[in-house]
Structure 1
Amino acid sequence: MKTLYLVRHAKSDWGDPMLDDHERPLNDRGLRDAPAMGHRLAERGVAPDRIVTSTAVRARSTARLLARVLGIGDDHVVELDELYAASGRGILNVAADLDDELGVAMLVGHNPGMSDAVGELTGEWVELPTCAVVECRVDVDSWAELVEGTGELLAVDTPKH
């Protein structure tokens, strides 16, 4: 049995129209929401063995803020280009490639891929707002066994809850 957290990055700043999408930072709300969600996770005893994030600035910042609050060192945060603009299937492929020694993993990325990944994994379709965190139990012994329908949606938390 594995636990997978799927996280949509926190709210990003659209203030500079010349900035490439990949380089957009978090806005003030995003900078507040990510640590707040981290504190909620910490209160529930969540401690991912690894956080894997998109290389986009807004996703990396979200992942680092969550990691800091959860007491997870930078050596347990991995950046992957494959998560930037990934489809739901692409996100699940990243999860399927995780090291089997990891029992709890967190992926930080973008919509619509994150919402699609939740639906494909659990059969439950949820439109994730920014900084939403979804907890899924995955009934597999090896991450490589993770396929459509092997997950159970345990919780959805958003900054507005």
Structure 2
Amino acid sequence: MKTLVLVRHAKSSWDEPGLDDHERPLNERGLRNAPVMGHRLAERGTVPDVIRSSTAVRARSTAQLMARAMGLMHEHVELDERLYGASPETILEIAGEIDDSIGTVMLVAHDPGLSDLAFSLSDSTIEHMPTCAIAEFRFDIESWRDAVDADPVDVWFDTPR
């Protein structure tokens, strides 16, 4: 069994209009929501073995705040520049590269790729992933490479609201 947890970064700040999109930080709501969602995952019993995050500041910060809330260290957060603006196919490719000894992986990325992938994997029940939303998919597979073609056996979805 493999568990793929997709997380859209928490709410980001638009306070600095000239700031490059990649460098935008979290706003106050994002700083509050990320730990709350990390606690919800931990309470659910879903603590990732590996967290991979987009290199964007808002995604990195979300991943680090959630990791801390789940009792994990920053070392659990790996950065992958391919997750910034990734398509659903790229996100699944990244999941497919995970070592098969890993049971649960969290990928922190952006829309529209995350919503499109969640929509596809959830058989159209998850239409949109708002900021800091979590979509968890459990697959009855032994290799992460098989996630590309597998249908999840269980889907869970949660948002900060």
Partner of 1:51, secondary structure, is: strand
Q: CA deviation at 1:149?
A: 4.5
For residue 143 of structure 2, what is the aligned residue in structure 1? 142
Aligned pair in 2 of structure 1 residues 72, 55: CA closer, same or farther (>3 Å)? Answer: same
CA RMSD, 1 decimal:
1.2
Cα distance in 2 for residues equivalent to 1:126 and 1:152: 18
Cα distance in 2 for residues equivalent to 1:84 and 1:153: 27
Residue 82 of structure 1 aligns with an amino acid whose one-letter code is R
Q: Equivalent residues in 2 for 1:75-86 (5 A)?
A: 75-86=75-86
Contact 2:30 2:132 in 1 (8 A): yes
Residue 101 of structure 2 aligns with an amino acid whose one-letter code is E
| TM-score between both structures, scaled by the size of structure 2 | 0.94
Aligned pair in 2 of structure 1 residues 28, 123: CA closer, same or farther (>3 Å)? Answer: same
**Matched residues, number:** 160
> Percent of counterpart pairs with the same letter?
55
Runs (5+) with no aligned partner, structure 1: none
For residue 26 of structure 1, what is the aligned residue in structure 2? 26
Cα distance in 1 for residues equivalent to 2:21 and 2:102: 31
Partner of 2:25, secondary structure, is: coil
Runs (5+) with no aligned partner, structure 2: none
- Residues 47-77 of structure 1, C-alpha deviations (whole Å, 9 max, x = no match): 1100000000000000000000101122221
- Residues 103-154 of structure 1, C-alpha deviations (whole Å, 9 max, x = no match): 0110000011111111333433420000000110112110011114522452
